[in-house]
Structure 1
Amino acid sequence: MISLQFLITAFVVVIAPGTGVIYTLALGLGQGRRAALIAALGCTLGIVPHLAAAILGLAAVLHTSALLFQIVKFAGVAYLLWLAYQALKSGGALSVSGDAQRQPAWAIARRGALINILNPKLSIFFLALLPPFLSGNAATASVEMATLGGIFMAMTFAVFVIYGVFAAAARDFLLGSERVMTWLNRSFAGIFTLLAGRLALEKA
């Protein structure tokens, strides 16, 4: 069940920069290591509903229900555009600045969780990723999927933490330049806008 092939596949998926990675990097640069770790945790917890949906078969319902898929998708698009605005806005939740105020842990984690919760492709992704690595025993299928999903989540958290710690370490070198901070904020806003556009074009 837990094969080298699965671990390699999961690692390749996790290490590829996506919305969660960008969010963790933004928090690491903007507020330091603590915020980056909380962001990584929030993004990881946002996987839980999709994993549960895949195990319970609800992902198939989402895949076949065009209306439900579109509702979740455009809620995700709106959320990503809001994050883009928060990166550009002075004092925004994702703004990189030298005098950024420390944000509550629950707020950072909640935003990270919503990034994944509002991505309807994630539950369908688990429905496609996990079954090929199951033993074939129907009696243990749910437990096996939960185990593989747990390993995927652990890898996600570990990789996101590395990204976040790296960003936090670079924070002191970057915050001395107003020009660099402006460039970073515009870059994060642009990336979130592009990710919103890509999500808007996704089909069930």
Structure 2
Amino acid sequence: MDMPDFSLERGAFEHGASRVAGVDEVGRGPLAGPVTAAAVVLDPDNIPDGLNDSKKLSAKRREVAFEAILASADVCVAHATVEEIDDINILRASHLAMQRAVDGLSHVPDYLLIDGNMIPRGLQIPSAAIVKGDARSVSIAAASIVAKITRDGIMMDLAQQFPGYGWETNAGYPSKSHKAALLKLGVTPHHRRSFKPVHNILYQE
């Protein structure tokens, strides 16, 4: 199995960069909850072991990696709210969360590696969009781990306030049980009203 490595970061160093941040977001597809982004600047001399696309790691390995990243790297996590998602659309909201994560780092990076095929338009820092970046760059992989663990934690907290939707296991994604609960229990303030399954329930009368 190919693992992400540090070669994209090293390439940026060779072109004069000194602080390279990996940026990723999680939570575009769910019907509920915020979209969450993380920006991570790894220490080249202290890269945690086992970094990989967060979807490829077990929950236990993700947790271990998460702690190691927080202990060794410059990290910022940021969100765009459900209201913002409904207001400006999910793509722009995910880009807004990415921009906030980059802005929140303790030192400004001079180059960004961004997961996906688009560079958020608000970013003023030289950047490269890397398709499937979490499988290619350890910095993006680290950002994907931090964003996923943080967002899953938010959804677990919300699941206790709004039981019955299964957010502790589906993290707000449109699983069968989540859609069934929507029909039975109705729409919460944390549901994205611009998303079709939610919109349809609200306006079926």
More strand by share: 2
Q: Considering Cα pairs closer than 8 Å and 6+ residues apart, tell me whether 1 or 2 has the greater RCO.
A: 1
Give the TM-score, by structure 1 length: 0.26
Give the TM-score, by structure 2 length: 0.26
More helix by share: 1
